[in-house]
Structure 1
Amino acid sequence: MTTTSERTLVNYTVTDGVAVIELTNPPANTYSHEMMRQLDEAILQARFDENVHVLLLRGSGEKFFCAGAEISMLNAVTPTFKYYFCLHANETLNRLEQTPKLVIAALNGHTVGGGLEIALACDIRIARRNAGKVGLPEINLGVLPGTGGTQRLARALPKNRAIELMTEGKLISFEEALDLSLINYIYDSEGYWDKVMEYAKSFCPPNKAARTVGRIKRSVQSGSEVAFSEALAIERELQQLCFQSEDAKEGLAAYVEKRKGNFSGR
């Protein structure tokens, strides 16, 4: 996908129900407003494609998932541009987080600053062993993590640990991040991408009721931000949509007939 400048900063491909969204801006896959607009477009494209059941984000190359915003760009633009740049980045990551399809981040390398903020907007994070560090070191630039970092990290960790990591500008290994539950899995480097793809495809038909996966995500994401009684109402409405689906009929019948469900994503 390209903009008027014809620079491709986000590659988008679909394989077996998985939309692979690759950030590509060597050497560190840092993002500009141009890249964020292409990422936004890719998210919308995956939303509307009924053949896409899972979104999978990765960085190009071996060393970086993403090292955040381009510092040289931020240093050159006006405060007004910075404000709208951050606003659009917030809106893009909110769109990613609220998309009712599972979103997996493949942390193939260093995931710092805005790169971690992108990863935090994903549902499941899978790192490559011994391949990098994570953290929000914006304090060293005299600014705060401004693409949702202060909010999502404080929801992912105990508040005191989130403040510690951000105010100290601490970078931690993937293994430490796993211990903190900031990431879900670490896969060995050998065969890493194949294993990540295999995992992503496990949520696609016929393996899983993909729309139900998306509704579980939507129930959690929407329900966690409202009162408990309202969250239960959201859950009930989404459950009713599941009850009306072909996959629910198949899943219930498969259980009664003692066989594996063959889901269609409908």
Structure 2
Amino acid sequence: MALVDYSTEGGVALLTLNDPPVNGYTHEMMKELDAAILAARFDDAVQAVVVTGQGEKFFCAGANINMLKAANPSFKYQFCLHANETLLRLEHTPKIVIAALNGHTVGGGLEIALACDLRVARKGAGKVGLPEVALGVLPGTGGTQRLARLVGKPKAIKLMCEGKTFDFDVALGYGIVDEVWVTESHGAFMGRVMEYAKGFTTPGRAALAVGRIKRAVQSGMEMALEQGLAFERELQAELFASEDAREGISAYVEKRAPSFGGK
């Protein structure tokens, strides 16, 4: 059985963490997630990515605690390093990535979601938080860094040191979740997520530009302003040379809807 299911639909790759009941990740799952991210990156037909969890109860409960208990310190270090590299690969892929929070999203599960560009959640489906302090450790798959960049240092320190979990509506108020949707069922939620993701694909949206906007923000924000602006200019020059830019500008002048090709 695959630990990460991979499928595509209408220009969207769906990556599903699949180790019920809590979809906790092992090194084996992280390797499969890494491979799935690369598959989506190299597939020109894929223009957006959705990451979710199997079932209706958990997006992901984080690292498999039994695996960590049995591992030696060297393995734990390499495990964290590879997880960091995998989530950086997700951030650096020039295609928008949406986390579909279908259930509890805690610990390393939230850290995976934080590495995505957008996070949408099903109302009432679960809790969210970084409770690692209760285990005597810190959020070690990017949580300390990404949460602080998202909500600010004081709020991030408070949330992680208190270790509380909270519902998606509270997470929306903190800015951790971008949207909370009311849906009748898990299936309806995932259907809405996929339609939302398709809204970032061609022909209606310039997916090439969407991907470069993501790269400009994700990488540029880690640079000094002058270097970030230089990076932005390089990405803009790439887009100006694209067929999509010519189509977008022509459609604007001709007062018609553009039809983008992703090139």
Pairwise same-fold verdict (TM > 0.5): yes
Q: Paired residue for 1:21, among 7, 10, 15?
A: 15
- Residue 106 (structure 1) aligned with residue 106 (structure 2): no
Superposed displacement of residue 173, structure 1: 0.8
Residue identity in the other structure for 1:265: G
Question: Residue 216 in 1 paired to residue 213 in 2?
Answer: yes
Aligned to 2:61: 67
Amino acid at match of 2:88: N
Report the CA distance between 1:189 and its aligned residue: 2.5
Note if 1:230 corresponds to 2:224: no
The C-alpha deviation readout for 1:78-116, integer Å capped at 9, x for no partner, is: 011000000000000000011110000000000000000
Partner Cα distance (1:155, 1:126) in 2: 19
**Count of aligned pairs:** 260
1:122 aligns with 2:116: yes
Alpha-carbon separation, structure 2, partners of 1:134 and 1:98: 24
Query: Residue 55 of structure 2 aligns to which amino acid in structure 1?
Result: G
Return the letter of the residue paired with 1:200. Answer: A
Give structure 1 stretches of 5+ with no counterpart.
Answer: 1-6
Question: 1:197 and 2:191 equivalent?
Answer: no
Q: CA deviation at 1:14?
A: 0.7
Report the TM-score, using the length of structure 1 for normalisation.
0.97
- Give secondary structure in 2 for the equivalent of 1:189: coil
Q: Give the TM-score taking structure 2 as reference length.
A: 0.98
Determine the C-alpha separation between the residues in 1 that align with 2:53 and 2:83.
Answer: 17
Alignment pair present for 1:187 and 2:184: no
Q: Is 1:50 aligned to 2:44, yes or no?
A: yes
Residues 167-210 of structure 1: per-residue CA shift (max 9 Å, x gap): 01011110001011111111112221111111000001001110
Q: Which residue of 1 aligns with 2:240?
A: 243
Cα distance, 1:233 vs. partner?
Answer: 0.4
Q: Aligned AA for 1:212?
A: A
Deviates more, 1:32-41 or 1:177-186: 177-186
Secondary structure at 1:261 match in 2: coil
5+ residue gaps in structure 2? Answer: none
Superposition RMSD in Å: 0.6
Q: Percent identity?
A: 62
Deviation at 1:121, TM superposition (A): 0.1
Alignment correspondent of 2:251: 254
Tell me how far apart the structure 2 counterparts of residues 217 and 129 of structure 1 sit (CA, whole Å): 26
Structure 2 CA distance for aligned equivalents of residues 17 and 205 of structure 1: 8
- Provide the C-alpha distance between the structure 1 equivalents of 2:142 and 2:251, rounded to a whole number of angstroms: 42
Query: 2:262 is paired with a residue of what secondary structure?
Result: coil
Deviations 1:226-252 (A, max 9, x none): 110110000001001110001101100
Q: Give, as a single letter, the amino acid of the residue that structure 2 aligns with 1:31.
A: Y
Which residue is equivalent to 1:10?
Answer: 4
Query: How many Å separate the matches in 2 of 1:108 and 1:119?
Result: 11
Q: Which amino acid aligns with 1:38?
A: E
